[in-house]
Amino acid sequence: MALGVPLAVNLEQRATLELQTEALIQAQGIASAVGSENLRPRAEDRLDSIVIDAANQVDGRVVVVDEQGILVADSQGPDYLGSRYATPSRPEIVTALGGRPATQIRFSSDLGMELLTTAVPIQDEGRTVGAVRITKPMADVAQETRRATLGLVAIGLAGLAAGLLLAFAMASSLARPLRRLADASRRLGEGDLSTRAEDVTGADEIEQLGRSFDVMADQMERTVRAQREFVANASHQLRTPLTGIKLRLESAIEGTADERLRHDLEAADREVDRLSDIVDRLLLMARDIEDGKPTVLDADAAVEQAVARWRERATLAGATLSARTGGGAAQGNPTDLAQVLDALIHNAITYAPGPVSVGCTREDARVVIAVQDEGPGIASDELERVTERFYRGHGAPPGGSGLGLTIARELVERWGGSLEVSTHEGGGTRVEVRLRPAAEGLTDP
């Protein structure tokens, strides 16, 4: 298209220019044949013969005027002989009588069409004694130009169709292996760890991408298999010592008469039960996460239980805990959320002892659980790094591994949630856990 359009325009301009040049040469030849001798009296018959023959040769109308612009010969007949033809409506004749040839395309109101008019002077020893004018209709030129333009359009459309077919064939050959890789990626993401791209054919870059995908899938399968084995082994190995601890705690509870000690032992026994529940759910949780199965939890109940669980320890650390509920049910795992709340409350009462609020609300179609303290807050240059693995702030007290917020963030993100840490201008750190609200059809695990 980019080549065809300017070529068609150039073709039309060139055809018009060639016709004007040809008419100018023809007019000059007729002017030479007429000469000054055929403009004299008693030479009318010879002049008419020359004009009629010339009109047949040029396939147009030929007229001759004398030096006064009076029509003395006309190939169409004697109807207008003797009339003045050098008028403003025929500027080409006026120009020719001035000694210069003229050619132009103008619209004839008498004929109702565009005409190519060409006029040249008839000279005798350097003096202009008359002029010859040729007129041709532009319809013939337009028809020839239109025919050539249609030919160009046909060639352009044929080339465009051939290019589209070629592009479609090339795109299909390039897209086929990419679709295969996309399908393999989708199956791998859905949990089919045996998926491989195998022998993907195509360009060198695509084949290299297919091989890299298979290497990645092999490594992922080995990693997941190792994780499964670790979870299974850890669950099995932890059951025995937990059972022994629980038996010793139960025996100690029955054998003590000290109420305060009994209270502490019963609290420890409940923690062992919770740890046992974590171990029992570890395999189930890993499988659910791998299969992408969301479950529902009562976020309000999780907040109240966490505050009750940590209230005594908070008091000993010089902190006070308060709970505010109203968020409702969310997607996730209760054990995961309990672990997240434990990490957040532990950080709050350890690094910012004082009033600590734990709230659960519904905001922007999300269940938001926020733990906020009134401590000094976190420096702005450390906010983005506090959830990094093993990172500890510059003013953090000794102890700790720098994994609490990292593990909390990873647990929340497993269920499509997010964890955000912010510091208020008046002081205090706020950690928000945003979870998806519970969908219909989900059940409590």
pLDDT tops 70 at residue 440: no
Q: Is residue 281 included in any domain, yes or no?
A: no
pLDDT of residue 101: 93
Helices 404-414 and 334-351, interaxial angle, to 10°?
A: 150
Over pLDDT 70: what percentage of the chain? 88
Per-residue pLDDT at 379 exceeds 60: yes
pLDDT, tens digit, for every residue of 126-157?
A: 889 999 999 988 776 677 677 777 877 888 88
Domain count, the chain: 2
CATH of the domain at 75: 3.30.450.20
Mean pLDDT, range 285-295, rounded to an integer: 55
**CATH number of domain containing 384:** 3.30.565.10
The residue among 100, 121, 137 that closes a domain is 137
Q: Which residue has the higher pLDDT, 317 or 391?
A: 317
Is residue 401 within 8 Å of 343, Cβ to Cβ? no
Query: In this prediction, what percent of the chain has a pLDDT beyond 90?
Result: 18
Give yes or no for a contact between 141 and 15, defined as CB atoms under 8 angstroms apart. yes
Any domain includes 262: no
Which of 137, 154, 171 finishes a domain? 137
- 177 inside domain: no
| 94 within some domain | yes
Q: Is residue 264 part of a domain?
A: no
Tell me which range, 9-18, 292-301, 347-356, is most confidently predicted by mean pLDDT: 347-356
Q: Indicate whether 235 pLDDT > 70.
A: no
- If you average pLDDT over every residue of the chain, what do you get? 81
Instruction: Tell me, yes or no, whether 200 lies in a domain.
Output: no
- The residue among 137, 167, 187 that closes a domain is 137
pLDDT at 389: 66
Phi, psi of 165 (to 5 degrees): -60, -45
Measured CA to CA, the distance from residue 248 to residue 272 in angstroms comes to 11
Between these two residues, 128 and 1, which has the higher pLDDT value?
A: 128
Residue 371 φ/ψ, nearest 5 degrees: -115, 120
Domain of residue 103, residue span = 4-137
| Domain presence at residue 167 | no
Range picked from 223-232, 392-401, 427-436 for highest mean pLDDT: 427-436
Residue pair 131/94 in contact by the 8 Å Cβ criterion = no
Q: What would the two tokens of residue 133 be?
A: 């004018």
| Predicted local distance difference test score (pLDDT) of residue 300 | 93
Q: How confident is the model at residue 441 (pLDDT cuts 50, 70, 90)?
A: very low
Q: Is residue 355 part of a domain?
A: yes
How many C-beta atoms lie closer than 10 Å to residue 270's C-beta? Answer: 12
pLDDT at position 443: 44
Residue carrying the six token digits 């002081």 = 427
Long-range pairs for 109-116: beta carbons < 8 A, 24 or more residues apart:
111/137, 113/137, 113/138, 113/139, 114/138, 114/139, 116/19, 116/20, 116/23, 116/141
